[in-house]
Amino acid sequence: MIYQIYVRSFADSDGDGVGDLPGVRSRLRYLRELGVDAVWLSPFYPSPQADAGYDVADYRDVDPRFGSLADVDDLIREAHEWGLRIIIDLVPNHTSHEHRWFRAALAATPGSRERARYIFRDGRGQGGDEPPNNWGSNFGGLAWTRVTEADHTPGQWYLHLFTPEQPDLDWTNTEVRAEFESILRFWLDRGVDGFRIDVAHGLAKDPEMPDLAGHYAISGPAIEGHPHWDQDEVHEVYRAWRRITDGYPGDPTFVAEVWVASPQRLALYLRPDELHTAFNFSFLLAPWAAKALRAAVDESVAALAEVRAPTTWVLSNHDVIRHVTRYGGGEPGTRRARAAALLMLALPGGAYVYQGEELGLTEVTDLPDEVRQDPSFHRTAGAEPGRDGCRVPLPWSGQDPPFGFSPSGASWLPQPADWAELTVQRQESDPGSTLTLYRNALRLRRELPALGDGLMRWIEAGADVLAFRREPGFVCVVNVGGAPAEPPDDVLGADAVVLLTSAPIGSDGRVPGATAAWYRTG
Ligand code: NOJ
């Protein structure tokens, strides 16, 4: 299981209210006890934080908010001592506007080598006053910003698929390619075990840069043929990267963030000479409904089998509404989220857990506007609530905020008072807590040869029930519906033993609504 640490919200060691790398290091025991195999760290590089660190000003250093290079070295070393692998976040689609390359591009002239690292174009219309095309930023507004040239005249426009502080790099430029290959080596030489690739489907753009029209929303999801998402040219980049990691000991791996139109398109990134794994967002996006969940599982398993890549499963991350809330919130949401966790952890392949889901944290929906930091909130004048609600710092201990997150009273986003019930400290000693459920599930996942990689076979057990077998001797039954369901007794056999359930099962053996059960069979 790979555990996503959103560094600024995990643990703060120095009391500034922002989590940091020494904070992560101080909690390695927690990760080990939870049953984590690898940790993915969100970006910790020097950054003006226009997009919480996904605007990188220097790819070979650490922002003082989060620590120093020495802290990364210490963290890697100590994590390895605990048997944990470290995956870092690589952001190749765009830099920060404060990156030395972009500063140089602004100071240089149109047509210069400095501008050629980014996507600068002349504007359309009289005096070049109109943007080069109608593409929109993912966070609202235009995807183009006009610069003022050195002679103070209005100048060219540059592309930014995210905020204006995140100018897109031009990946047809060999200098850009060489730079990132060198960055990969820099971190591999320091001992990291892999990379999560940000916006891996965005690097290549249609050189014609056509206006978006018809079924392509101006800022919208990847659809086949889209001019800036999932262009075929992107695969060359990953083939070159794979050649680099293959030359390092310890099997460093890539996990790609790819939002593409279908599992078939996703599979292209996972061909044997490309990336090792990718997030499987079709599972995350599926509603709490048996048919939809089963279809997401089936399509993913089938598409990835074609390229012999392992499937991965994820329910939450720092960009989406936490799944307790997505599944309805309150008691029903928590119940479903617990069942979904046992479903995910029983499926074949790898699983990603986003910090706090093991505590059953909810989306914080009532953050006051003035504390919100996500650019998508500010760039849409609040029309989009943004992603701060899933990024609230973790509650570790105690009765009051910041619940052990920070040694001072500070916390960069306020935590709800009722998280006193959800602290690690409180849940550790509660056999019925979500933390205990995750720990037990992850322990079984390590112990049982049937779990993790391998095959699965569905068992037909009713329209609202997802049931499947893993060999040797394991069955998972998830009742997605509301009414109790009969377990598939003919498959389970008389000797079946209940290993773990997400909610108590009655003495009649029926699986209540929104409940998952793991069985050992004969
Ligand atoms: C995906 C990251 O997960 C998200 O947080 C970020 O805003 C965008 N990429 C842009 O880098």
What is the whole-number distance in angstroms between the Cα of residue 59 and the centre of ligand 1? Answer: 16
pLDDT score of 285: 93
Give me 363's structure tokens.
């989306």
Could you tell me if residue 448 is inside a domain? no
**Which residue, judged by its Cα, is nearest atom 6 of ligand 1?**
54
Q: Is residue 497 part of a domain?
A: yes
Which residues contact residue 393 at a Cβ distance below 8 angstroms, ignoring those fewer than 6 apart?
A: 8, 9, 10, 12, 19, 402, 405, 406, 411, 412, 413, 415
Q: Please tell me the distance from the alpha carbon of residue 210 to that of residue 69, in angstroms, as a whole number.
A: 42
The answer to the question of residue 254 being in a domain is yes
Q: Which one of 388, 411, 428 terminates a domain?
A: 428
Q: What atom in ligand 1 is closest to the CA of residue 91?
A: 11
| Helix (H) / strand (E) containing 335 | helix 330-346
What integer is the mean pLDDT of 139-161? 95
Across 432-441, average pLDDT = 98
Task: Note if the bond before 221 is cis, omega within 30 degrees.
Answer: no
Domain assignment of residue 26, yes or no: yes
Q: Residue 403's domain is classified under what CATH number?
A: 3.20.20.80
Q: How many CB atoms lie within 10 A of CB 146?
A: 18
Number of domain units in the chain: 3
Taking 90 as the threshold, does the pLDDT of residue 5 lie above it?
Answer: yes
Asked whether the predicted pLDDT for residue 361 surpasses 80, the reply is yes
Q: Are residues 387 and 514 in the same domain?
A: no
Report which ligand 1 atom has the smallest distance to the Cα of 51.
Answer: 7
pLDDT band at 494 (very low <50, low <70, confident <90, very high): confident
Can you spell out the DSSP letters for 450-515?
A: TSSSS--EEE---TTEEEEEETTTEEEEEE-SSS-B---HHHH-TT-EEEEESS---TT--B-TTE
Query: Does 118 have pLDDT greater than 90?
Result: yes
Instruction: Looking at the structure, tell me whether residues 278 and 411 fall in a common domain.
Output: yes
Q: Let me know: does 28 contact 37? Beta carbons within 8 Å.
A: no
pLDDT at residue 444 tops 90: yes
> Is residue 337 domain-shared with residue 365, that is, in the same domain?
yes
**Of the candidates 424, 263, 290, the residue with the CA atom closest to the CA atom of residue 359:** 424
- Sequence-separated (6 or more) residues with CB below 8 Å from residue 471: 450, 454, 455
pLDDT band, very low/low/confident/very high, at 16 (cuts 50, 70, 90)? very high
Domain identity same for 148 and 264: no
Clarify whether residues 209 and 195 are in a common domain.
yes
Residue 350 confidence (pLDDT): 97
Q: Which atom of ligand 1 is nearest to the CA of 139?
A: 7
297 within domain boundaries: yes
Q: Which of 6, 7, 54, 229 to mutate to test the pocket of ligand 1 (most atoms within 8 A of CB)?
A: 54
Residue at 165 is within a domain:
no
For 198, phi then psi, to 5°, come to: -70, 135
**Which of 428, 443, 465 finishes a domain?**
428
Query: Atom 11, ligand 1: which residue's CA is nearest?
Result: 54
Beta bridge partners of 148: 154
Closest Cα to atom 5, ligand 1: which residue?
319
Q: Are residues 217 and 336 in the same domain?
A: yes
User: How far apart are the C-alpha atoms of 438 and 229, rounded to whole Å?
Assistant: 35
pLDDT in tens, 207-261: 999 999 888 888 888 888 899 999 999 999 999 999 999 999 999 999 999 999 9
The pLDDT tens digits for 296-314 are: 999 999 999 999 999 999 9
**397 pLDDT exceeds 90?**
yes
To test the pocket of ligand 1, the residue of 137, 199, 379 to mutate (highest count of ligand atoms within 8 Å of its CB) is 199
The secondary structure of residue 363, as a DSSP letter, is P
Annotated catalytic residues are 198, 257
For 83-95, what is the mean pLDDT?
Answer: 98
Distances (CA, A) of 402 to 20, 31, 418, 511: 15, 20, 12, 38
Q: What pLDDT, on a 0 to 100 scale, did the predictor assign at position 47?
A: 98
Is 80 exceeded by the pLDDT of residue 522? Answer: no
> What six digits make up the tokens of 44?
């910790």
Give the structural domain span for 137: 100-159
201-207 mean pLDDT: 97
Task: Give me the pLDDT at residue 224, please.
Answer: 87
345 within domain boundaries: yes
- Residue 313's DSSP bridge partners are 351
Are the C-beta atoms of 473 and 450 separated by less than 8 Å? yes
List all residues whose CB is within 6 A of at least one atom of ligand 1: 51, 54, 91, 162, 198-199, 257, 318-319
pLDDT recorded at residue 148: 96
Q: How far apart are the CA of 199 and the centre of ligand 1, in A?
A: 7
Percentage of the chain modeled with pLDDT above 90:
93
Average pLDDT, the chain: 96
Q: How far apart are the CA of 313 and the centre of ligand 1, in A?
A: 19
pLDDT band at 425 (very low <50, low <70, confident <90, very high): very high
Last residue of a domain, one of 159, 181, 198: 159
Atom of ligand 1 nearest to the CA of 375: 7
Nearest CA to ligand 1 atom 4: 319
> How many angstroms does the Cα of residue 336 sit away from the middle of ligand 1?
27
Asked if residue 264 and residue 380 are part of one domain, the reply reads yes
Ligand 1, residue 387: give the atom nearest the CA: 5
User: Do 215 and 251 sit in the same domain of this protein?
Assistant: yes
CA distance 459 to 153: 69
Q: Is the domain of 127 the same as that of 230?
A: no
Give dist(CA 216, CA 208) in Å, integer. Answer: 16
The values of phi and psi at residue 288, to 5°, are: -75, 80
Question: What b/e sequence results for 280-316 when a residue is b if at least 16 CB atoms lie within 10 Å of its CB, and e otherwise?
Answer: bbbbbebebebeebbebbebbbebbeeeebbbbbbbb
Question: How many angstroms separate the alpha carbon of residue 463 from the centre of ligand 1?
Answer: 37
Query: Do residues 107 and 55 share a domain?
Result: no
In a domain, 81, yes or no: yes
53 vs 213, more confident: 53
CA 130 to centroid of chain Cα atoms: 35
pLDDT cut 70: percent of the chain above it: 100
Residues 327, 469, single domain; the answer is no
CB 368 within 8 A of CB 18: no
CATH classification of the domain holding 117: 3.90.400.10
H or E segment and range at residue 312: strand 312-314
The CA 182 to ligand 1 mean position distance, Å, reads 22
Are 314 and 190 members of one domain?
yes
Rg of the chain over Cα atoms, rounded to whole angstroms, equals 24
pTM: 0.97
